[in-house]
Amino acid sequence: MPVMDGVQLVAAVRSLDQDAAVIVLTGAPEVRTAIESLKLGAFDFIMKPVNVEELLIASDRALERRQLLIERRQYQELLERRVEEATRDVQLAYRQLKDTYRATLESLGAALDSRDVGTESHSRRVHGYAMATARAHGVPEDELPDLAHGVLLHDIGKIGIPDAILLKPGPLTKDEWTIMRKHPEIGKRLIENIPFLKGAVPIVYCHHERWDGNGYPSGLRAEEIPLGARIFAAVDAFDAMTFDRPYSKAISFEAAKAEIVRCSGSHFDPAVVTSFLKVPDSLLQEIRRKSIEP
C-alpha cells in the first residue's frame, strides 16, 4: 500500500476510534503481520483473493464483537458511577452520623458544665484549647477525636455525685471530698462499654492525675498518665483561671500562662506546657470568642 503499510493503518485507525472494528485483508500472508495486526486490535485477518461469503461472516462477527465491547464498557461505566454514588451516600451518612455524635456530646458536655461550673461554654473552650495544644504537640490527627470526646465528657462522672456535695457553696469536708473524688471512676464506668467512646476512657479516668504523682484516682506519675489527660489538665487549668467563675475572678492570659509554667513539672507535664505555650494568643482568643457565641 502507498504511504503506510497495513499494520500502520490498523494502528492509525484504532488510535482514532477505539471501537472501530478492523478486518485486515492481505495478499501477502505472513504470520508476523497477522500477529502484529491482531495485537493492535484487528478483529480478523482474511487472505486475498477475497471470498465474499467469508468477508460477510467476518464482518458480522466483527460488528457483533464491537457491539459487545461497547456494551461491556458502558455497563462498566454505569457500575463505576453507581459505586461512586453509593460511596458518596455512605460518606455523607457517616459524616452526618459523626456530626450527630459530636453535637450530642457537646450538648452533654454543656449540660454538665452548666450544672457544675456555672458556665456551659467551659467544655467547648477546653475542647478548643486541647485540640490546639495537641496539634502543637504533634499528636496525629486521627487520635484527636478520642481526645475531643474525653475532653467533652471529662466530668461525666459528676452525674453520680449528690447535689448537696456538687453544688455546696462552701468548702467540702474530708468525707465529701472522698465522695467527690469518685467522679473519674464513675465516669469511666459510664462510658467504658460504649465502643464509640472507648478512646475517651483514659482521659475521663485520669483527668485529675498530676505529673508528680499527687493526683487521683490512681496517683499515676509522669508518662504513666495518658497523654490526653496530661493535655487536658493544663488547658483545663488555663480556662479555670481565665474565665470568671462563681467563686473566682478571671486573670489575664499572661498571668495564667505564668502560673501554668510555675506548676510545670509538679501539676503538669513540662513537654505539654511547652506545646501549650506555642499556641498563639490570637488562636486562644478566637477559641474563647467562638465558645461564647450562641
Binding stretches for Fe ion (CB under 5 A): 155
CB of 108 to Fe ion, least distance (A): 15
Query: Between residues 155 and 209, which has the closer beta carbon with respect to Fe ion?
Result: 155
Query: Between residues 37 and 210, which has the closer beta carbon with respect to Fe ion?
Result: 210
Query: Between residues 9 and 111, which has the closer beta carbon with respect to Fe ion?
Result: 111
Query: Between residues 10 and 112, which has the closer beta carbon with respect to Fe ion?
Result: 112
Query: Between residues 44 and 155, which has the closer beta carbon with respect to Fe ion?
Result: 155
CB of 293 to Fe ion, least distance (A): 25
CB of 228 to Fe ion, least distance (A): 14
Cα 151 to Cα 51, 113, 164, 236, distances in angstroms:
84, 12, 25, 9
Contacts of residues 1-7 at CB distance under 8 Å and 24 or more positions apart, as own/partner, are 6/33, 6/37, 7/33, 7/36, 7/37, 7/40
Query: Between residues 26 and 218, which has the closer beta carbon with respect to Fe ion?
Result: 218
CB of 190 to Fe ion, least distance (A): 13
CB of 250 to Fe ion, least distance (A): 20
CB of 200 to Fe ion, least distance (A): 14
Query: Between residues 120 and 155, which has the closer beta carbon with respect to Fe ion?
Result: 155
CB of 222 to Fe ion, least distance (A): 20
And the C-alpha cell for 274? 511547652
Phi, psi of 44 (to 5 degrees): -155, 170
